[in-house]
Amino acid sequence: MTAPVFVVDDLGAPEGTGSPGDPGPAEPPRADGPRYVLDGPEGRHAVAVKRLRPGEEAVLTDGAGRWAACVVLDAEGKDRLVLSRGPVREEPAPEPRITVVQALPKGDRGERAVETMTETGVDTIVPWAAERCVTQWKGERGLKALGKWRATARESGKQSRRVRFPDVADAMSGKQVAAVLARAELAVVLHEDPAHPAEPLATTVLPVRGEIVLVVGPEGGVSPAELALFAEAGARVCRLGRSVLRTSTAGTVAAAVLLGRSGRWG
């Protein structure tokens, strides 16, 4: 089993490149490296929940690609873990980047979508206030909901052993989403209307680098006005298959298709 991941802010400058999931570039952690004390909520989680013991391994990361493999030396109290820290590495940003524009689902389905998209490997998640969304983010409620999405991305990033967590952008309008689509190497809108021509996502030609932006509409679908706006920005209409997925599921499934075909899962 891979080592658990903990988030810290003070890792320092990277000394090399590599990924904790790859066997090549990173040396195994040693017990004679610099001493590092993991405390606060992360230290409490490591000691009280993960119950890490001397000799076990852990990974520290800033969530932005920098990370260090560590060996546990000792636990002090209930919230301090003493580690031997290995050299700081930096995981290169993946290519092509995958951005999912997610229409706001009802209830806790938004956090569920963020959780599974993070586990799958999505790089950026954009909350979208689509015309047909029942849920609307306004005022304090919107800020609280955005905070939940960002917290979910962080916790899911740790659980899935990522060291480069997805960015969760501020909520966007249709016009703002169109601007994001216009800058992408490939822009795709998932749409299941049989009256509207759509190509299979499984056979769409993918770019080698740059950004792929994928739009997932609400349960009521993308409106004709939004489709026209996104088409003007250069987006292509695609379908996943014959079945219709929920908005909280479609982004994860589509991202998996793209990640598998792009070679990032190779």
What does the block give as tokens for 50?
């993960």
How much is the pTM? 0.92
Residue at a domain's end among 90, 124, 146 = 90
CATH code for position 82: 2.40.240.20
Burial class from Cβ neighbours inside 10 Å (0-12, 13-18, 19+) for residue 201 reads buried
User: How far from 89 is each of 18, 40, 148, CA to CA, in Å?
Assistant: 6, 23, 29
Do residues 73 and 143 share a domain?
no
Neighbour count for residue 23 (Cβ, 10 Å) = 8
pLDDT at 28: 60
Residue at a domain's end among 58, 90, 122 = 90
Per-block mean pLDDT, blocks of 10 residues, the chain (266 long): 89 79 56 86 94 94 95 91 94 96 94 97 97 90 95 97 97 97 97 80 94 96 95 95 89 96 90
pLDDT at 27: 59
pLDDT at 16: 75
Do residues 124 and 251 share a domain?
yes
pLDDT at 13: 77
**What does DSSP say about strands 57-61 and 5-7: parallel, antiparallel, or unpaired?**
parallel
Do residues 102 and 225 share a domain?
yes
Do residues 82 and 103 share a domain?
no
Do residues 48 and 102 share a domain?
no
Q: What is the span of the domain harbouring residue 76?
A: 5-90
Please state, in angstroms and rounded to a whole number, the distance separating the CA atoms of residues 226 and 19: 39
Do residues 246 and 117 share a domain?
yes
pLDDT at 4: 94
pLDDT at 22: 62
Residue at a domain's end among 69, 90, 111 = 90
pLDDT at 248: 93
Q: How many domains does the chain have?
A: 2
- Tell me, rounded to whole angstroms, the distance of Cα 121 from its chain centroid: 5
Do residues 140 and 158 share a domain?
yes
Do residues 133 and 174 share a domain?
yes
User: How far from 95 is each of 91, 205, 209, CA to CA, in Å?
Assistant: 12, 15, 5
Do residues 131 and 161 share a domain?
yes
Do residues 69 and 183 share a domain?
no
Do residues 169 and 80 share a domain?
no
CATH code for position 129: 3.40.1280.10
User: DSSP letters of 43-59?
Assistant: HHIIIIIS---TT-EEE
Neighbour count for residue 190 (Cβ, 10 Å) = 24
Do residues 227 and 157 share a domain?
yes
Radius of gyration over alpha carbons of the chain, in Å? Answer: 20
pLDDT at 12: 76
